[in-house]
Amino acid sequence: MDLELNGKRAIVTGGSRGIGLAVADRLAAEGADVALLARDPDALDHAAAHIGRHGTRVLARPADTRDDDAVRGAVAAVVQAFGGVDVLVNAAARPAGGAVPPLPELTDDALRDEVETKVLGYLRCARAVAPHMVAQGWGRIVNVSGLNARSSGSLVGSVRNVAVAAMTKNLADELGPSGVNVTVVHPGPTRTERVITEEAAARFAAGTSIGRMVTAAEVADVVAFLASPRSVAITGDAVAVGGGARGVIHY
């Protein structure tokens, strides 16, 4: 299937590593020009060199999505370089994981820091690109969230991911009449360049319907479809990309 992404202009936040990098690589493979936004200039340059093998335009732009001025400046630079923006993939957030402290030890900042990056950071980027998409009558925004939105066990992870899903639906309703679709994907534990133990991988795999962990490239395949004109029938909804959660029914 031709995803009709050839010549589209995309911004991928968190594009220097992990799922963000895999998404940027997939979009470029489909013919899209890709701007990578992340905080680490060295990692960005390395990612841009890797993605450049596809032959499309690649722009590496250091930016911290916690800073609204930095976000607006980065989007303005992309629009100037590419002539506009058609796709935004929000993936700039810390991966889920780590020990979750009990309620008496849970600080305000533990949640505040996550919301600042994953919720408000996503909102800042959407707010900056939306006028360009609305003006041209077409656009796609895909928010990378996570399956903690559908399970307990991490108060911070659940709250931030549910918030991203709620924001997605509201933006979809507001921007839909202007031709802009907004969706959210919920990855589960995903194989990226991060090293995990075989014991952890087996534990994660046991919780999936397919019996293994999904890779970042496989998540990117779904995101690329949602970022394409082919996905017009899907907006405001959450798409799980974790290999299936055993024993759970969503309808």
Question: What six digits make up the tokens of 224?
Answer: 């690329």
Could you tell me the residue ranges of all domains in the chain? Answer: 9-188+216-235
Instruction: Tell me how far apart the alpha carbons of residues 58 and 50 are, in angstroms, rounded to a whole number.
Output: 10
pLDDT band at 98 (very low <50, low <70, confident <90, very high): low
pTM above 0.85, yes or no: yes
Which residues have a Cβ under 8 Å from the Cβ of 166 and sit 6 or more positions away?
A: none
Helix (H) or strand (E) holding 205, with range, is: helix 198-206
- Residue range 155-209, pLDDT digits in tens: 999 999 999 999 999 999 999 999 999 999 999 999 998 878 889 999 999 999 9
In this predicted structure, what is the pLDDT of residue 91?
98
Does domain 9-188+216-235 match CATH 3.30.450.40? no
Residue 229 in this model has a pLDDT that exceeds 70: yes
Closest CA to 10 of 226, 237, 242, 212: 226
